[in-house]
Structure 1
Amino acid sequence: MSGERSTLAWRPLARHDAVASADLLNAVEAVDRIGENYTAEDTLQELVDPYADLERGSLAAFDGDVMVGYVKVRFKPSADVVHRVFLDGAVHPDYRRRGVGTALVDAGVAAAEVLHAAHHPAARLVVDVHKCEHVAGVAELLRSRGFAPVRHFQRLERALTGTTPDPAVPAGLRVEPWSEQVDEDFRVARNEAYRDHWGAVPMPVDAWRNKVVNQTFRPGASFLLREVATGTPVAVLVTAHWEADAETTGIRDAHFVVLGTSPAHRRRGAAGALLAHALRAAAEQGHHRASLTVDSAAPSGASGVFARAGFAPAARYVRWALER
């Protein structure tokens, strides 16, 4: 490692890096304005992810006690033909254009190959990076390392003022709020709804606990639709809220992190009913805005549902991929 990169200290991430990670990501947000603010509790949740092998799948750069960049690899709990390994990272704005990002991306790809060989060697490896489109330098860096854009996603937002959609439930279905007793039904409904979504795999219990039912989870604005006759869960919506965002912006955002309908029940009003219930609940609980991220080519054809519910585009993200 040459130049300024050699003056930095490099090591894998550890759980005690939660505060330094939050400080780095908040410094990035101050410049990039991607709408993501963090507390140490938020970053710790990512560091204890059961599918993030920090020792073999991460690298961080430090200038003294300040974390100036990191990369972290998340492998999939299961894989069939393709194993899509997710690479996430950031570089402090003051340390960009100095080779730190290049070193981290290269380290991340190498770590992805190691974890792929350890967990799903029979599948084909694809390394994914998901970044907001407007962040300067990202496209140039990723293209230089062989990545290509393969998918686009949009963040949609809706102010929680005025009227909300009619929460009428389709005939033969009933809506249920989240509770500990039906938590497993929520997870099962998510897996069934996402089974034909691009890049998705079934979410096991440990991942569900880490990524969904964590400190950001808002059970009072999370709902399930169930068939009355059979008791089968057919659609699910889970809401999250980041206190760090509210403290920074003054806007309490209810983000729908999971929203899906089983293939057999799509285009029957299930998603619209869940959205209406969640929007009303979020507004009643003091949220100012609702948001979600949607795949531009999702098989559910849900874009019309969101438009009818009053959502509008707010930001666009690019999914970059490197096939190995």
Structure 2
Amino acid sequence: MNGRTDPRAGLDRRLTWRPAGAAELDDWAALIARTAAVERPVWFERRADLAQILDSRTNPATTHSILGFDGQGVARAYARLTKNADGDKAVGYGCVDPGWQGSGVGTGLLAWLEARTRQRFAEDSKGAADSGDPAARAAVPKLRLYMEEKHAHQAALLGGCGYRVVRYYNEMHRPLDQAIPEAVLDGGLELVGFGPGLHEAVRQAHNDAFRDHWGSEPRDEEAWGFVVNDPQARPDLSAVVVEKASGRVAGYQLASHDAEGAADRGFKEGYTDLLGVRREFRGRGVAQALLADAMRRFAAGGMDKASLDVDSENPTGALALYTKMGYRTVNRSMAWDKEL
């Protein structure tokens, strides 16, 4: 690796560390499940999600992940990093076995994530310069981590290590045993099902719709593949609004369902992962029509609730729209940043 600091230097020496790979999948998934059983997050990665992560070319697990094993070969901690080649931030993920929390392992993982972030920024800057990109410059490395508001122990760790909250997100639910609102599309638009034939068109629409959203970066084909091929993705619960005359995608609602999580939470939810409307189609009822359609699809699929997450400072007024359509905030999460 490039860089003056060995990312492993701060890792707890009571554990043996190595990158995640196919041989570590079961241990990795077991660690996350064991931690989730105590911390009770809204969602956590399972084995199928981790297997998908191992396929990444942009953020290969061999250099972007680390797993710590105790003397008995049990995985006790992990961290991983993702970053777009031209992105202004890296995003970190990780957890520590509940029995090992408070012993300094988490602090070591943060140090690894920070050191690897510095290296990744240097690598991307050099790659851009070598390619002759006239805009290539040395960006200030920045690491972002997400956590639920209820996890006070994580907040204490991040705050103590110099991170600050930069954004809040609301998890919102809408019961489906209530009347579903009627929503009529403006003339010239129609709602169609989502399938492989629309994958690329919706990716382009998403990048267009979210270019004015805080923290959003364009998704390349690999990143989009993680969305449409997610193990929990439900194209049958998703939909797209297109302009009849041109076939241009005006907006989309992409949904998923976590069947395993439903058993833990005691209810079934259809989750809207992504909802977007291109600027030129805003104000024509597209978002309302997509949400109402999602509710009908979710209800027909046996779901109890419709759910989604929204940036509390979303510039399009999404929070007000969701509230108007019956969604209510049930949980909050935060994004924490540190410039390195």
Structure 2 length normalisation: TM-score? Answer: 0.88
Deviation at 1:104, TM superposition (A): 0.3
SS in 1 for 2:121: helix
| Alignment-mate amino acid for residue 123 of structure 2 | A
Q: Mean alpha-carbon deviation: is it higher for 251-260 or for 89-98?
A: 251-260
Q: Is the 8 A contact 2:170 2:310 kept in 1?
A: yes
CA distance in 1, matches of 2:289, 2:49: 30
Alignment of 1:243 with 2:259, yes or no, is yes
Alignment of 1:11 with 2:27, yes or no, is no
CA distance in 2, matches of 1:118, 1:184: 29
Q: 1:89 is matched with which residue?
A: 94
CA distance in 1, matches of 2:55, 2:108: 24
- Which residues of 2 match residues 283-298 of structure 1 at below 5 A? 283-298=299-314
Alignment of 1:30 with 2:46, yes or no, is no
Q: Is the 8 A contact 2:183 2:285 kept in 1?
A: no
Cα deviations by residue, 1:142-187 (Å, 9 ceiling, x for unpaired): 1222211111111111122232121422222111111222222221
Deviation at 1:250, TM superposition (A): 4.1
Alignment of 1:110 with 2:115, yes or no, is yes
SS in 1 for 2:30: helix
Alignment of 1:58 with 2:65, yes or no, is yes
CA distance in 1, matches of 2:299, 2:23: 36
Over 3 Å counting, the alpha-carbon distance change for 1:39 and 1:126 in structure 2 is closer
Alignment of 1:42 with 2:49, yes or no, is yes
Corresponding residue to 2:83 among 75, 92, 112: 75
| Alignment-mate amino acid for residue 261 of structure 1 | V
Q: Is the 8 A contact 1:223 1:236 kept in 2?
A: yes
CA distance in 2, matches of 1:317, 1:62: 29
CA distance in 2, matches of 1:279, 1:162: 10
CA distance in 2, matches of 1:244, 1:37: 10
Identity %: 28
Deviation at 1:38, TM superposition (A): 4.4
Corresponding residue to 2:189 among 154, 157, 173: 173
Deviation at 1:198, TM superposition (A): 1.2
Q: 1:198 is matched with which residue?
A: 214
Deviation at 1:37, TM superposition (A): 4.5
Structure 1: unaligned runs, 5 residues or longer: none
Over 3 Å counting, the alpha-carbon distance change for 1:106 and 1:320 in structure 2 is same
Corresponding residue to 2:232 among 203, 216, 240: 216
| Alignment-mate amino acid for residue 113 of structure 1 | R
| Alignment-mate amino acid for residue 108 of structure 1 | L
CA distance in 2, matches of 1:109, 1:15: 25
Corresponding residue to 1:303 among 307, 319, 326: 319
| Alignment-mate amino acid for residue 12 of structure 2 | R
Over 3 Å counting, the alpha-carbon distance change for 1:170 and 1:15 in structure 2 is farther
Q: Is the 8 A contact 1:78 1:202 kept in 2?
A: no
Structure 1 length normalisation: TM-score? Answer: 0.93
Q: Mean alpha-carbon deviation: is it higher for 122-131 or for 89-98?
A: 122-131
CA distance in 1, matches of 2:125, 2:258: 33
Over 3 Å counting, the alpha-carbon distance change for 1:120 and 1:309 in structure 2 is farther
Q: Is the 8 A contact 2:250 2:281 kept in 1?
A: yes
CA distance in 2, matches of 1:250, 1:166: 28
Cα deviations by residue, 1:167-218 (Å, 9 ceiling, x for unpaired): 4222221111112222222211111111111111111111111233322110
CA distance in 2, matches of 1:255, 1:132: 17
CA distance in 2, matches of 1:251, 1:77: 39
Deviation at 1:246, TM superposition (A): 2.3
Deviation at 1:77, TM superposition (A): 4.1
Give 4+ residue runs of structure 1 displaced > 6 Å after superposition. none
Deviation at 1:125, TM superposition (A): 2.2
Q: Is the 8 A contact 2:89 2:141 kept in 1?
A: yes
SS in 1 for 2:240: strand
CA distance in 2, matches of 1:283, 1:65: 45
Cα deviations by residue, 1:14-57 (Å, 9 ceiling, x for unpaired): 23322222222222222222222443112222333333232222
| Alignment-mate amino acid for residue 161 of structure 2 | R
Cα deviations by residue, 1:218-245 (Å, 9 ceiling, x for unpaired): 0111111112233221111100112221
> How many pairs align?
321
